[in-house]
Amino acid sequence: MEVEFGGEVVEWRGPAPYYFVAVPEREGLALREAAAAANFGWGSIPIRARLGSTEWKTSLWTKDGGYLLPLKDAVRKPAGLVQGDPVEVRVTFDARPRERKAPTRRAPVPRGSREPVSAEQLTIVPANQASWEDLQAVFGSGGDTARCWCQRFRMLPKESWASEGPEELAARLRDQTACGDRSAEATSGLVAYLDGEPVGWCAVAPRADHARLRRDVRIPWLERDEDKADPTVWAVTCFVTRAGYRRRGIGRALAGASVDFAAGQGARAVEGYPDLVDGGSVGTLAMFAAAGFVEVSRPSKRRAVLRIDF
């Protein structure tokens, strides 16, 4: 189905700015009914949006019982749109019922192997060059990764895993990565492949894009004079290795690839915040050191800040 509506650009601060257009109630109800009929349920809805001659893929966000259409910077900035500007947009949702496909057959995932994997054995690509299905395979269907969907440092005030739910958080990651859209800006992360199998994810993006990192996490800022809004400093915030491939060096290879990726996107520096005890999703000190990061501060007994200036 296709709906057209007008509205004002609104800014929802986290404090990193996100810009939206609210979907009017009538159009929102029509989209909700179409999504339910197509087995999408009540949550984020994948759509195509058009503003003038520009069309892009995204997902409608749920908010207070309605929908918000996110305006990507790649769309908003060329149009010169700021908060309060009126816009006319068109939203297209493929209302065909979602097919219940048989599970995709993949090569068996080796269990228990500890054979090291070198960077040369991996193919590491920007996330927009990977498919969403491949990224889902990396995150899996259980555990913290399938609840968080790499949104821990990006959540807005009063948001949590429980309040937003995995479906919404997965939709946000899909929107941020633009998986499968090679024409999109590659500014969210990297996906690693081993023998054609997706095996790892690394989140690397402008530090200012991480609302909670700027607002609630003290580690990057203690005893440092840093501009939290500086878009030229990037951050490596998350590693996920697919079950069956862990402890083989995939995270270390992704940490190394993150350096060239950030530099290639115009960053003047890139940082990491490893956990000195067990690494966890933020990585280990050894991973960052091997990639050439240098320790610049140790704000607690458990955490450090490592950085490369280009």
CA distances from 159 to 76, 121, 152 (A): 25, 39, 10
pLDDT of residue 15: 35
Could you tell me if 3 and 31 are in contact, meaning their C-beta atoms sit under 8 angstroms apart? Answer: yes
The pair of structure tokens assigned to 293 is 């990061």
Task: Name the least confident of 36-45, 170-179, 219-228, 269-278.
Answer: 36-45
pTM for the whole thing?
A: 0.68
Could you tell me if 274 and 239 are in contact, meaning their C-beta atoms sit under 8 angstroms apart? Answer: no
Residues above pLDDT 70, as percent of the chain? 89
What confidence tens digit (pLDDT) does each residue in 72-107 have?
777 888 889 999 999 999 999 876 544 444 434 444
**Element holding 92 (H helix, E strand):** strand 86-92
Which backbone phi and psi does 40 adopt, to 5 degrees? -95, -15
Q: What is the CATH number of domain 119-309?
A: 3.40.630.30
Higher per-residue confidence, 102 vs 206: 206
| Residue that has been written with the tokens 């280009």 in this structure | 310
Task: Name the least confident of 105-109, 148-152, 306-310.
Answer: 105-109
Find all residues with CB under 8 Å of 8, minimum gap 6, and list them: 21, 83, 84, 85, 86, 87
Q: pLDDT grade, residue 257 (50/70/90)?
A: very high
Asked whether the predicted pLDDT for residue 37 surpasses 90, the reply is: no
pLDDT of residue 42: 43
Residue boundaries of the structural domains of the chain: 2-92, 119-309
Pairing relationship of beta strands 269-272 and 233-241 according to DSSP bridges: parallel
2-92 topology per CATH: Elongation Factor Tu (Ef-tu); domain 3 (2.40.30)
Asked whether the predicted pLDDT for residue 286 surpasses 50, the reply is: yes
pLDDT of residue 134: 94
Which of helix, strand or coil describes residue 198?
A: strand
What confidence tens digit (pLDDT) does each residue in 101-139 have?
443 444 444 545 678 888 889 999 999 889 999 999 999
Q: pLDDT grade, residue 43 (50/70/90)?
A: low
